[in-house]
Amino acid sequence: MRAMGTGSSVPRKAEAELDSGTAGAIHKHDHEPANATLARMFVERRRRRPLEHAWHEALDSVHQLLTRYEETNHRLAEAEEIYRSLFEGALVGIFRVSADGRPLMVNEFMAKLVGYDDPEQMLAGVRHFGEHVFTDHSEWRDLMLRLQKNGVQYGFEAEMKAADGATKWVLLNIRSIQDGSRIVYYEGTAEDITDRKLAEDRIRLIAYYDSVTGLPNRRLFEERLAESITFAQSKNQRVALLVLELGRFKMINDTFGKVFGDRLLQEIAQRIRTALGEGITIARLGGAEFAIILEDVKALREVQLLAQQMLAVIGAEFSFLGHSFNVSCTMGISMFPEHGRDSHILLERADAAMCSAKDQTANDVQFYSEGIDTQIRVRLRLENGLRLALERNELFLVYQPQVDTRTGGISGLEALLRWQHPEMGLIPPNDFIAVAESSGLIVPIGEWVLRTACMQGRAWQDAGLPAIPIAVNVSAIQLRQQGFCELIRSVLRETGLDPKYLELELTEGLLMTNVDVVFTVIQELRELGVKLTIDDFGTGYSSLNYLRQFKVNRLKIDRSFVREVPKNADDAAITTAIINMAKALNLDVLAEGVENVEQLDFLRAQNCFEIQGYYFSKPMAVDQIAKKLRGSFAS
Ligand code: C2E
Ligand code: MG
Ligand code: MG
């Protein structure tokens, strides 16, 4: 039976129950008419409906809750997965450490950074994070103090010793987690900055250290000097600044090459370091210049002794790469506070003192004094003037005859350089050759002398004057220039002078350094056919053995020996010995600086017949020489 026309919305299930009479608690009362039953059922249903509704709503809520719970769970799982992945896969080390330094939690990166395969290994292997990780334990303590104060520390750089022994640099960002004032644990990140640190070290090395010797360079030296001065000022102490330069280094470098030069610098740095020990700043300022800072100087004597020690150490024989040789050095010293209160001034003044030492004898030490400033100014003026002297035609040559006393005739001429300075007047070579040498100007000037002398020799011959050799003084720097022999060859070719009329005067000292190279050059010059003389003989240190090897043509006895013969017995003995030695070696011998007849007679008695000196003639201008030559050969 179907409920018709009621328009009611009885649920189908309820209807079916009603149809089948199975509607649970709704029972038909026997005495009731069917419609009454139905009506009652409707009433009943209406009474039950809110309950059903509530039930459904509750179910819905539970369902929704469950769904939300599931979603939350899902999201939590997702979040956990994200955090786990972030933690485990992070490309920085992440750690949590207990208040007493025990690692509680580390990620893979951290474990690897500390030299373990995985976090478990690290947690088992490391008992104290700080003591294990920091090479310098005090750094960890320092870090802890900062954390206690600030709670967080960014960018803390520390050197770490990994479990596998490797040294690494790490950058830590770390914070303390506190419960009130009590630190519960520390946590943070660690980055491997080893590569960056190495790069920084390399940069620092390049910027502050000399690549050849490993010593501090000028930049670092100036910083250290400034620090020493500040410190000395606060303690009322004195500081000495020593600047030293090797003699002839450029020449050695040019002759033997850079590898050899570098090796020499290294050996010298090593010698100074060994002599002075640790704790004293030694620097290479550039080229062949070194500097030393001596702190807390009590007495000048102390500095003098050290300077002498340095000269001895550097002056001792070097023997490497198949060569044995000696180098000289000059040293300038300035003192704080006497000579300046600022590092630049002290350096300038030590340099000035060194230049002054250079102008005097080699192997010398010079303290700064005010007089040196004047010397330096003069020197600078000379150097600047000399740069212009060639182009302004201020240089000229004079010629001094050499006489054969057996015939009385002129056997040769020595070309001697003069400089007519526009304001300073006539300047003798002894006053400017050293400046020309140290500034390198000797190279173009020497070439000019050579060309002018050869041209003049040829011109005299062309003018019908007798052909005699012209001697030209050659500086060590010229001789060691590459292509020196080639220069001689081309000058002879250009001027048309026969090589046998060119004589080169080389000083003894020049021959004794870099013997091998000099030997080769001399050989080549001999093959060219030019004459070679050792000038100022007796003042250097040549050994007989070398003299034999060099195969020069003659020796010129230095003026200093000739000056006091025959009165001075020692000089007489030396002069005689040189003459005899020359004869024994089959060399010609000439005495220079002969001023009087006593000297002449003595020399003749010793069988030295060639002389040069005021006794016969002073150096003369070109036209006077022409007259003299005519006269000499006319008589
Ligand atoms: P030196 O080559 O030993 O030249 C001899 C010097 O002694 C010359 O001085 C000459 O004038 C001087 N002299 C000669 N006889 C006497 C004498 O009887 N008594 C005295 N008191 N002196 C005498 P000068 O011309 O002043 O030259 C000095 C030095 O300068 C030369 O010594 C030489 O080493 C150097 N020099 C001169 N010209 C040149 C040059 O063109 N190139 C180079 N590299 N050096 C040169
Ligand atoms: Mg000479
Ligand atoms: Mg001489």
Whole-angstrom Cα distance, residue 412 to residue 466? 10
Q: Is there a domain that residue 48 lies in?
A: no
Q: Is there a domain that residue 62 lies in?
A: no
Whole-angstrom Cα distance, residue 402 to residue 591? 9
Find the 570 Cα to ligand 3 centroid distance in Å: 20
The count of structural domains within the chain is: 3
Q: Is there a domain that residue 292 lies in?
A: yes
Q: Which of 124, 115, 89, 93 is nearest to 106 (CA)?
A: 93
Q: Is 599 in the pocket of ligand 1 (CB under 6 A)?
A: no
**Residue to mutate, 414, 433, 554, 611, ligand 1, most ligand atoms under 8 Å from C-beta:** 433
Query: What residues contact residue 120 under an 8 Å CB cut-off, 6+ apart?
Result: none
Ligand 1 atom index nearest CA of 556: 3
In Å, how far are 20, 40, 45, 198, 222 from 24, measured between CA atoms?
Answer: 11, 14, 12, 89, 108
Whole-angstrom Cα distance, residue 172 to residue 141? 14
CATH code of the domain covering residue 528: 3.20.20.450
Q: Which of 562, 484, 557 is nearest to 523 (CA)?
A: 484
- 616 and 591 in a common domain: yes
Name which residue sits closest to atom 37 of ligand 1, judged by CA: 416
Q: Is 617 in the pocket of ligand 1 (CB under 6 A)?
A: no
Name which residue sits closest to atom 22 of ligand 1, judged by CA: 593
Whole-angstrom Cα distance, residue 326 to residue 514? 9
pLDDT score at 326: 84
- 531 and 479 in a common domain: yes
- 217 and 194 in a common domain: no
In Å, how far are 210, 257, 282, 312, 362 from 285, measured between CA atoms?
Answer: 8, 20, 9, 21, 20
Q: Is there a domain that residue 419 lies in?
A: no
Q: What is the strand order of the sheet 239-246 is part of?
A: 282-286, 289-294, 239-246, 329-336, 365-367
Find the 592 Cα to ligand 2 centroid distance in Å: 9
Whole-angstrom Cα distance, residue 553 to residue 532? 5
Q: Is 619 in the pocket of ligand 1 (CB under 6 A)?
A: yes
Is the model's pLDDT at 19 over the cut of 50? no
* 168 three-class SS: strand
Q: Is there a domain that residue 188 lies in?
A: yes
Whole-angstrom Cα distance, residue 73 to residue 71? 5
pLDDT score at 223: 93
Is the model's pLDDT at 363 over the cut of 60? no
Ligand 1 atom index nearest CA of 594: 18
**Residue to mutate, 431, 560, 592, ligand 1, most ligand atoms under 8 Å from C-beta:** 592
CATH code of the domain covering residue 95: 3.30.450.20
pLDDT score at 621: 96
Q: Is 401 in the pocket of ligand 1 (CB under 6 A)?
A: no
pLDDT score at 396: 97
Q: Is 591 in the pocket of ligand 1 (CB under 6 A)?
A: no
Find the 556 Cα to ligand 3 centroid distance in Å: 7
Name which residue sits closest to atom 7 of ligand 1, judged by CA: 593
CA angle 221, 223, 227 (to 5 degrees): 115
- 347 and 294 in a common domain: yes
- 606 and 487 in a common domain: yes
- 493 and 353 in a common domain: no
Pick from 168-177, 319-328, 473-482, 571-580: least confident: 319-328
- 256 and 295 in a common domain: yes
Reported as a single tens digit per residue, the pLDDT across 516-531 is 778 889 999 999 999 9
- 138 and 178 in a common domain: yes
Find the 360 Cα to ligand 1 centroid distance in Å: 17
Ligand closest in space to the Cα of 536: 3
Amino acid identity at 256: F
**Residue to mutate, 390, 402, 414, 416, ligand 1, most ligand atoms under 8 Å from C-beta:** 416
pTM, whole model, 2 decimals?
A: 0.57
Name which residue sits closest to atom 16 of ligand 1, judged by CA: 593
Ligand 1 atom index nearest CA of 472: 41
Whole-angstrom Cα distance, residue 538 to residue 67? 114
Name which residue sits closest to atom 46 of ligand 1, judged by CA: 473
- 231 and 306 in a common domain: yes
- 191 and 231 in a common domain: no
Find the 417 Cα to ligand 1 centroid distance in Å: 8
Is the model's pLDDT at 292 over the cut of 70? yes
Ligand 1 atom index nearest CA of 429: 30
Cβ atoms of 488 and 527 closer than 8 Å: no
Reported as a single tens digit per residue, the pLDDT across 246-273 is 987 877 887 788 899 999 999 999 999 9
Find the 616 Cα to ligand 3 centroid distance in Å: 16
Whole-angstrom Cα distance, residue 294 to residue 281? 8
Cβ atoms of 168 and 180 closer than 8 Å: no
CATH code of the domain covering residue 247: 3.30.70.270
Find the 395 Cα to ligand 1 centroid distance in Å: 15
Q: Is 538 in the pocket of ligand 1 (CB under 6 A)?
A: no
Q: Is 416 in the pocket of ligand 1 (CB under 6 A)?
A: yes
pLDDT band at 57 (very low <50, low <70, confident <90, very high): confident
Reported as a single tens digit per residue, the pLDDT across 404-439 is 999 999 999 999 999 999 988 999 999 899 889 888
Find the 473 Cα to ligand 2 centroid distance in Å: 5
Whole-angstrom Cα distance, residue 245 to residue 355? 9
Residues around ligand 2, an ion, CB closer than 5 A: 473, 505, 535
Ligand closest in space to the Cα of 562: 1
Find the 523 Cα to ligand 3 centroid distance in Å: 22
Q: For tokens 């005299």, what's the residue?
A: 460
Q: Is there a domain that residue 109 lies in?
A: yes
Q: What is the strand order of the sheet 152-161 is part of?
A: 103-106, 93-98, 182-192, 167-179, 152-161
Q: How far is CA 221 from the centre of its chain?
A: 11
- 192 and 312 in a common domain: no
Name which residue sits closest to atom 4 of ligand 1, judged by CA: 416
Pick the last residue of a domain from 368, 395, 416.
368
Q: Is 614 in the pocket of ligand 1 (CB under 6 A)?
A: yes
Residues around ligand 3, an ion, CB closer than 5 A: 535-536
What average pLDDT does range 361-382 have in this prediction?
79
Q: Is 245 in the pocket of ligand 1 (CB under 6 A)?
A: no
Whole-angstrom Cα distance, residue 95 to residue 620? 93
Find the 459 Cα to ligand 2 centroid distance in Å: 22
Q: Is there a domain that residue 59 lies in?
A: no
Name which residue sits closest to atom 11 of ligand 1, judged by CA: 619
What average pLDDT does range 185-193 have in this prediction?
93
Pick the last residue of a domain from 136, 171, 198.
198
pLDDT score at 29: 57
Q: Is 429 in the pocket of ligand 1 (CB under 6 A)?
A: yes
Cβ atoms of 485 and 450 closer than 8 Å: no
Task: Write out the residue range of the structural domain in which residue 292 sits.
Answer: 209-368
pLDDT score at 32: 64
pLDDT score at 269: 96
Q: Is there a domain that residue 630 lies in?
A: no
Whole-angstrom Cα distance, residue 605 to residue 598? 11
Pick the last residue of a domain from 316, 335, 368.
368
- Say what percent of the chain tops pLDDT 90: 54
Residue that wins the pLDDT comparison between 51 and 107: 107
Q: Is 590 in the pocket of ligand 1 (CB under 6 A)?
A: no
What average pLDDT does range 322-333 have in this prediction?
87
Is the model's pLDDT at 320 over the cut of 60? yes
Ligand 1 atom index nearest CA of 475: 44
Whole-angstrom Cα distance, residue 270 to residue 215? 10
Ligand 1 atom index nearest CA of 442: 44
Ligand 1 atom index nearest CA of 619: 11
Q: What single-letter DSSP state applies at residue 243?
A: E
Highest mean pLDDT among 4-18, 311-325, 352-366, 566-580: 566-580
Compute the mean pLDDT over every residue in the chain, rounded to the nearest whole number.
87
Which strand (E) or helix (H) includes residue 72? helix 34-89
**Residue to mutate, 386, 397, 473, ligand 1, most ligand atoms under 8 Å from C-beta:** 473
Ligand 1 atom index nearest CA of 614: 18
Q: How far apart are the first and last CA of the chain?
A: 177
Q: Is 449 in the pocket of ligand 1 (CB under 6 A)?
A: yes
- 298 and 187 in a common domain: no
Whole-angstrom Cα distance, residue 479 to residue 594? 28
